[in-house]
Structure 1
Amino acid sequence: MTHLKQNHPDPSKETKLAKVLGIISGSFAPIIGVLAGAGLLKAMLSVLTTIGWLSNESGAYIILSAAGDAIFHFLPLFLGISIALKLGANGYVGGVIGASLLTPEIMHLVENDVKTIDFFGLPVLLADYSSTVFPIFIAIFVYAGLDRLLKKVIYKDIQMFINPMISLIILVPLTMLVFGPIGTLLGEGLGSVISFLSDKSGLLAGAVLGASWTFLTIMGLHWTIIPLAIVNLATGPDPIIAMAAAAPFAQVGIGIAVFLKTRDKDLKALAASGIVPGALAGTTEAINYGIILRYRKTMIYVIIAAAIGGAFNGSVGVVMNDFVLPSVLSIPAFTPVWEYLIGIGAAFVIGFLLTYLLGYESKHSKVDDGFTQNIFGIPSSETIKSPLRGKVVPLSAINAPLFATETVGKGIAIEPEAGKIYSPVDGVITTQFPTGHAVGITSENGAEVLIYIGLDTVKLKGKYFTPHLKQGDHVKQGDLLIEFELDQIKAQGFETTTLVVITNTNQYIDVKATTSVTVEQNDQLLKLTV
């Protein structure tokens, strides 16, 4: 029987570390694009002033420099919003907590070298919190807990203004008195440790960081390192991303080699889809999830290539001067630039040559993605009906790389308007997730349909979900599968976007999604062609 293999980690056993990493990742994800874009703008301005095309005293430079600096200067404000939203609290209150550290009055005192001010007899140590990360993370973690408490004890009709007022009265002084200094010391301490290791043995530090960066990124652990790079940039250049930069170039080299070598048109298309964004924007998810995780030999190649490139960059002291994602366009942000080009060039060439000359694994030896072949034989063309009603969203817009890059399979997403999931096909329940947030069905025509309710809702551990059928049950199209409490899930801060994915996509010539903006339950959603 077709089923999701039961070797996936039990979501109920998610570690506290995994939860923290998820919060860090979810907090940076909404702003990482503008951080990288602003960094590229600053790098471009640096090039233009160096070659004499633009004066750093001109109005054009001042305005464009303001555009590039704004996100970094007001980083606590933006992080305050995104962290609070990730934790299910009021994002605008979180933003105000961050902005309070950067008001003109406070910044004026800091710029005039005033060390302390008085808060009802308590000394407040003043510091420049622009571009900082850790103080606002600590503050918003505490604010989220306070917000949950206030929602329980404050009369509902006055929460709209009383809760923000109480939160600001408590959190802003606490941040300046306690969280700010602690967070600053934490960031400076971690940055100093990395700088010390880099100074003692840049070659070793670069080799380790380069070799591990691909897998840190795949597991989401790179989000714990990116803040350290931003902290370093607040006081000078950063060596971390300069050493890690070898990894994405090695990944792009592997992607190009697979594109040139493979005869599988689906794999060729997948590789092509990852090369351009990887080379020009530093976003290599398609290569990481679609190729490196699927073909074991490429894992070895990326480790070797990135370790060599990272070791070189670390040994010669390459640094990043403005925050960017490593790519062809962001090269001017690194110095010394020629040494940097040698490091990333070596990683790219080695990754390409190893893959092209030694080959990647055959299609039949891919890493098991957890799905087995269906029991109904060769699939036939069919239409998948919508399991619910709501607004249609393309998978590419989903903040979940495995789905957004179609690694799991092609499909569509729906913003639900009601908390009921109905069977989109006649078939068999081949997987009923114990947490109730997802179900796998194999249709009588051979389609393997995964319905996945919400993003990160596995963390709810089954709360608010009521499955009506069990694994092995036969279903008819339109049978009620799952009920879920839509409003309660949203109130807990989780997205409820529901994914409908064909996990055996590679057995179809085409999986075409509806072009409608909205769908009703039972409308045509996907057309599968063999």
Structure 2
Amino acid sequence: MSNKNLAEKIVENIGGKENVQSLTHCMTRLRFVLKNEDKADKEALEKLDIMQVVRGGGQYQIVIGTNVKDVYEEVVKLTGEGNSGKADEGGKEQKLSAKIFNVISGSFTPIIPAILGSGMLKALLQILVSAGVMQSSSGTYAILTAASNAVFYFLPIILGITFGTRMKVNPYISGVIGAALLEPNYTRLLTTAGGQTDFMHIPVVLMDYSSTVFPVILAICTYVLIDRLLKKIIPGVFQVLFVPMLSLMLVVPITLIVFGPFGIYTGTFISNVLTIALGKNAVLTNIVFGFIGIPTVMLGLHWALIPVIINNLSTAGQDFLLPTVQATAYAGAGAALGVFFKTKDIKLKELSFSAFVPAFLTGITEPVIYGVFFKFRRGLLYAMSMSAVAGGLCGIFHIYASQMAGGIMVIPSYTPAVSFAIAMAVAFGGTFLLTYIFGYESAGKDTGTSAGTGSSQESLTVKKTMTAPVKGKVVKLSQVADEVFSSGTLGKGIGVIQASDEILAPADGEVVSVFPTKHAIGIKTEYGAEMIIHIGINTVELNGKYFDIFVREGDKITSGQVIGTVAFDKVKEAGYDTTVMLIVTNTDHFQEVKIMEPGSLKDPVIQVE
């Protein structure tokens, strides 16, 4: 059930929006104050995709879990009630760059299987042709090539749908905007209009948008703004007719007028600069291009280089830029293989290995870019750096290509072949070692184990421990005076009857959230355990009073570190239970979560296997 549907059912079964007096949420649950609790249908609510319903303290609490913020936002849309000050689970806004990167990454996640499958098929076809098993002129080859090329050629359409979904606009209108960039009436202009046409006397520079990424992303961002504006000024009864029509009328021309010139002029500028620079200083030029090569491909600007490379091959029989282009592919392959060996996440192993194979065998980098680099930015930096080193070697050894080909099978076509093999080994091996030794970055967070791509039910095979988050007497979770925690609904854990004002980090890891009211802290360990330190019961109502938390979202912490203090005497005087809970919220990820009997503060209280 989607968050929207769940929110609709919740509102329906609490007596409708007119029965809601106020609404807030904490780390795990929606907290309603209802005008008449008798109008709420508890049995119907418990049949929904929720964890538990709790009544008490003047609140009607619906336990959702750690995704409560998403459901809360949908409920607020329906009821108009909510306290925005308490709705932001992290307590701190993500950086704009991180938000952009995460949205783009999330847009690619649904289509990664198609990209990986296509890349693997491309690799297989090249191997079959190189081995003489299949002829590139055969119908079989043409049909399978169509299957392997489709996802890349029509990427603006597919990405339009997924990116539109992430941006919360109509994904099918977004897909149509992407399709307009590939529609035959437009693409025909590429060959008949001499590279330029006009729209209502405004010049339009024509370009091929197949396989591009960022033009459609910018187009959908424009669509988001126009869609919001149109919905404000067009009456609701007419929106279904006029908003889609006007959106297409405005967004498609804006995209072709603005982003076409950007792609052509920027790409041509890079191409011309590289051509001139290669003649001046081949070593330095190859180092620079080796470093920016992967981002150039990500932006779709590499297409401007292909005519230059083809022209060099056809007129001089050799090209000095293509070897460095290949270095970026080998560096990508090294990054993918490094992630494969570093991670303990089975799903990520499958993804990274599937990206490695086409990059290593054929030089096809899209599966690595979209499947690995858009998720693990540290790996991208490693690959860029080692591509630069390999590019420098290509310049030093005066390596050149004699045909437009890539991958391990065509190393002999580069001259000198041994020097080329050495340079590519540096790009591949260097990136692999850096990724494997120093780890990679997942959605802005360092990790070398479980990344965000794994199944929620996947078992991890590590064995790690956690210590108590505060000094005091450790008690069973079942003894905690809050049935949501005591029932184990949110996961296994322990309670501590505190005897100190200091809050301690239970394990090495990273702070993933600090609730605005400071009563709850989310932590993810280096081995993939996700936990909540929940300070007191119903202390969300204090709105941060008496709490002083020293860490913020994104901070690295070490086991035993003091991460905050609480004036527990004041909390008790205010009438609140001060039991501190430590809950492993992804209990199902592990084969076993053991609750242990500590002998001292430093002894583990929870062990995961």
Which TM class, normalised by the smaller chain length? 0.5 to 0.7
Q: Is the 8 A contact 1:116 1:125 kept in 2?
A: yes
What corresponds to 1:14 in structure 2? 95
Q: 1:176 to 1:248 in 2, by over 3 A?
A: closer
| Distance in 2 separating the partners of 1:122 and 1:35 | 36
SS at match of 2:299: helix
Q: Is 1:177–2:177 an aligned residue pair? A: no
- Alignment partner of 1:433 is 2:518: no
Higher relative contact order (CA 8 A, sep 6+): 1
Larger radius of gyration: 2
Query: 2:163 matched to which residue of 1?
Result: 83
Contact 2:181 2:209 in 1 (8 A): yes
Partner of 1:309: 390
Native 8 Å contact 2:134 2:141 kept in 1:
yes
- 1:226 and 2:226 aligned: no
Q: Distance in 2 between matches of 1:317 and 1:511?
A: 57
Q: Where does the alignment leave 5 or more consecutive residues of structure 2 unmatched?
A: 1-89, 310-320, 360-367, 439-444, 466-483, 497-502, 505-510, 534-539, 550-565, 569-576, 595-605
Residue 244 in structure 1 maps to residue 354 in structure 2: no
**Residue in structure 2 matched with residue 380 of structure 1 by the alignment:** none
Correspondences of 1:273-312 after superposition (within 5 Å):
280=357, 308-312=389-393
How far did 1:114 drift? 5.2
Task: Go from structure 1 to structure 2 and tell me whether the alpha carbon gap of 1:11 and 1:40 turns closer, same or farther (over 3 Å shift).
Answer: same
1:137 lines up with 2:204 in the alignment: no
- Cα distance, 1:136 vs structure 2: 2.5
Mapping of 1:437-516 within 5 angstroms?
439-440=520-521, 449-450=530-531, 472=566, 500-501=585-586
The alpha-carbon distance between structure 1 residues 404 and 346, as it changes in their structure 2 partners (threshold 3 A), is farther
Return the alpha-carbon distance in structure 1 between the equivalents of residues 348 and 389 of structure 2. 23
Give the drift of 1:63.
0.8
Q: Indicate yes or no: 2:179 matched with 1:99.
A: yes
Change (3 A) 1:74 1:501: same
Which residue type is aligned with residue 218 of structure 2?
I
Amino acid at match of 2:585: V
Name the SS for the 2:182 alignment partner: coil
- Could you give the per-residue CA deviations for residues 299-336 of structure 1, whole angstroms, max 9, x where no partner exists? 999999765434334652469968x9xxxxx5348884
Structure 2 Cα separation of the partners of residues 165 and 175 of structure 1: 16
Gaps of 5+ in 1: 1-8, 214-221, 260-265, 325-329, 362-367, 371-392, 411-419, 453-464, 482-498, 513-526
Deviations 1:433-481 (A, max 9, x none): 1557994379xxxx975259xxxxxxxxxxxx999776657766999x9
Structure 1 pair 509/166, CA: closer, same or farther in 2 (3 Å)? closer
Q: Distance in 2 between matches of 1:292 and 1:108?
A: 38
AA aligned opposite 1:242: Q
1:102/1:130 contact within 8 Å kept: yes
| % identity of equivalent residues | 28
Paired with 1:211 and 1:118, the residues of 2 have a C-alpha distance of 37
Task: State whether structure 2 residue 115 is matched by structure 1 residue 38.
Answer: no
Measure, in 2, the Cα distance between the counterparts of 1:333 and 1:317.
13
Q: Distance in 1 between the 2:518 and 2:308 partners?
A: 46
Q: Is contact 1:191-1:231 (8 Å) kept?
A: no
Q: Sort the Cα spacing of 1:155 and 1:468 in 2 relative to 1 into closer, same or farther, 3 A.
A: farther
Distance in 2, Cα, partners of 1:252 & 1:404 = 22
Trace 1:75-474 onto structure 2 (pairs within 5 A): 75-113=155-193, 115=195, 119-122=199-202, 124-156=204-236, 158-190=238-270, 192-193=272-273, 200-207=280-287, 225-228=297-300, 231-232=303-304, 235=307, 239=322, 241-248=325-332, 280=357, 308-313=389-394, 316-317=399-400, 331-332=408-409, 336=413, 338=417, 340-347=420-427, 396-397=454-455, 424=491, 425-427=493-495, 433-434=514-515, 439-440=520-521, 449-450=530-531, 472=566
Cα 1:204–1:439 change in 2 (3 A) is farther
**Contact 1:206–1:310 at 8 Å: present in 2 too?**
yes
1:243 partner SS:
helix
Query: 8 Å contact 1:250–1:306 — kept in the other structure?
Result: no
How many pairs align? 399
**Structure 1 residues 112 and 267, CA gap change in structure 2 (3 angstroms):** closer
Question: How far did residue 61 of structure 1 move?
Answer: 1.5
> Hey, what's the Cα distance between the residues in 2 that align with 1:467 and 1:224?
51
| Residue 63 (structure 1) aligned with residue 143 (structure 2) | yes
Question: Match of 1:218?
Answer: none
- SS of 1:12 mapped into structure 2: coil
3-state DSSP of counterpart to 2:168: coil
The range that moved more, 271-280 or 93-102, is 271-280
CA contact (8 A) 2:195 2:205 kept: yes
- In 1: Cα distance, 2:295 partner to 2:130 partner: 32
Superposed displacement of residue 341, structure 1? 3.5
Deviation larger for 118-127 or 267-276: 267-276
CA contact (8 A) 1:115 1:125 kept: yes
2: distance between equivalents of 1:22 and 1:342? 36
C-alpha change, 1:299 and 1:61, in structure 2 (3 Å) is closer
Distance (whole Å) between structure 2 residues aligned to residue 179 and residue 394 of structure 1: 32
Instruction: Please give the per-residue CA displacement for 1:145-171, whole angstroms capped at 9, x wherever unaligned.
Output: 112223333444554443222201211
In 1, Cα distance between equivalents of 2:585 and 2:160:
33
Q: Partners in 1 of 2:249 and 2:133 — Cα distance?
A: 49
**Residues in 2 aligned to 1:34 and 1:468: alpha-carbon distance in whole angstroms:** 47
Aligned partners of 2:203, 2:435: CA distance in 1, in Å?
60
Give, in angstroms, the shift of residue 14 of structure 1: 2.0
Say which SS state the counterpart of residue 129 (structure 1) adopts. coil
The one-letter code of the counterpart of 1:131 is S
TM-score normalised over the length of structure 1: 0.54
CA distance in 2, matches of 1:271, 1:132: 25
The Cα offsets for residues 260-281 of structure 1, whole Å up to 9 and x where unpaired, read as xxxxxx9999999999567546
Give the counterpart letter for 1:427 in structure 2: G
Which whole-Å CA distance do the structure 1 matches of 2:205 and 2:380 have between them? 48
Alpha-carbon distance, 1:396 to partner? 0.6
Match of 1:459 in 2: none
Q: 1:405 to 1:93 in 2, by over 3 A?
A: farther
Q: Evaluate the alpha carbon distance shift between residue 19 and residue 183 of structure 1 in structure 2; reply closer, same or farther with a 3 A threshold.
A: farther
Q: Does the CA-based 8 Å contact 1:135-1:184 persist in structure 2?
A: no
How large is the RMSD of aligned CA atoms in angstroms? 6.1
The answer (yes or no) to whether the contact 1:306–1:347 under 8 Å persists in 2 is yes
